[in-house]
Chains A and B, each alone.
Chain A
Amino acid sequence: MKLISRDAALALFIATAFLSVLLMALIWLLTQRIDSLNKQLALTARRVNDEILDDFKAIASELSVKLQHEAQTRCYNCPLRQH
């Protein structure tokens, strides 16, 4: 009993082998593309980081000044200082 003829099997074999090679080439190309996108992404991520860090620092600095001011006011109004 034969499932498929030898010629059909040979044709299928050639087609799958050709497809495998094509897919390998496509994977290689996509890997190169991903590497280049990763480099680009690293640059963009760096810019986002720097921007967020600057924003956080500005908020922290403002908060720090506010805390300092509050501490001074509290100390100025404390009973020990009034005497």
Chain B
Amino acid sequence: MRQISGADIPASVDRYLLPDEHQLICLREHPAVLLEPITLATVGLLVAVLLNSVALISSTGLYIIWLAGGVLLLWMVSKTYEWFINYLVVTSGRIFIVTGLVNRKLSAMLLSDVTDLNLRRSLLGRLFGYGELVMEHGLPDQSLSVVRFISYPAEVYLALWLGPDPRDLIEELVSRICRVVAPVSPFKIVRLLEQTSGDQGRDSPAVARELLCRTVADRLDEDVSLERRPELSCYLAEYRNDLRRRNNTENARLTARFLRVIAVTSAITLGSLLGIEYLTQ
């Protein structure tokens, strides 16, 4: 994991850290975010070179094509620089993103406001090694709900629900619980355990979170098929169903978006060529 500490913290991030804030992770977006601008700029330049060599259109047309290629190249350079200066930072209390080339923008969220956190990985994400974090919260106007192109997604996710200490014991116990109550996220389980152990201890001895976690994991291991918890089993089945339907629709939307990019690019290219030919006749 790319973890910047001490003197290596970039000044653009350091200024947003509070004096007592413990920084866990500081990393750039995954380079896959540059795939689109690099591909478009390369294709644009290749088209310009191709049209130049086959002399399909007049010199005015070529001038326009080269100009468009240059604009695409500049756009790619600005995107690359933006990628270089944008950071995702996770501290012990919050998660924030510093973005923007000219106007720097800070989008932050307190981890205590996050009610659930899920890691989503598409086929391309698994191929290139990035993922996206989907945060659920009760806040009405938060811009930071989905963080895309996360490098080292599994490590970032672990750091978000485990916190600063490498507590392997809790990790193993929570994983055992999650196996039974899938698809509830480990983050949610930790939150519920914290809530439960926090509610205890008013008129009885407080139960430590680790002990509670172990007991819950043992109890659920004895009832893996949730036969003794019919209501929970029913709600979980419903939740799984809803989640699958939402994910299928989300995948359909992603495919439609991809196809739209191809269709719009083709329409613009054909329209430009027709326009240039009409103008130069």
Taking Cβ atoms with an 8 Å cutoff, the residues of A that contact B are 1-3, 6, 9-10, 12-13, 16-17, 19-20, 23-24, 26-27, 30-31, 33-34, 37-38, 40-42, 44-45, 47-49, 51-53, 55-57, 59-61, 63-65, 67-68, 71
Contact = CB atoms under 8 A, between A and B. Distances in A.
Interface stretch (B28-36, B123-131, B151-159, B247-255): B247-255
Contacts of B54: 1, 3
Interface string B213-245: 001100100000000010110011011001101
Give the secondary structure class of B's interface. Answer: helix
A56 B192 contact: yes
B197 interface: yes
B205 A67 contact: yes
Given A37-B245, A60-B200, A49 B192 contact: yes
10 closest A-B pairs by CB: A16-B267, A13-B270, A23-B260, A30-B253, A64-B204, A56-B196, A20-B263, A37-B246, A16-B266, A19-B263
Interface stretch (B5-13, B90-98, B100-108, B271-279): B271-279
Given A9-B273, A12-B266, A31-B253, A51 B232 contact: yes
B212 A51 contact: no
A23 B259 contact: yes
A34 B273 contact: no
B56 interface: yes
Nearest to A67: B205
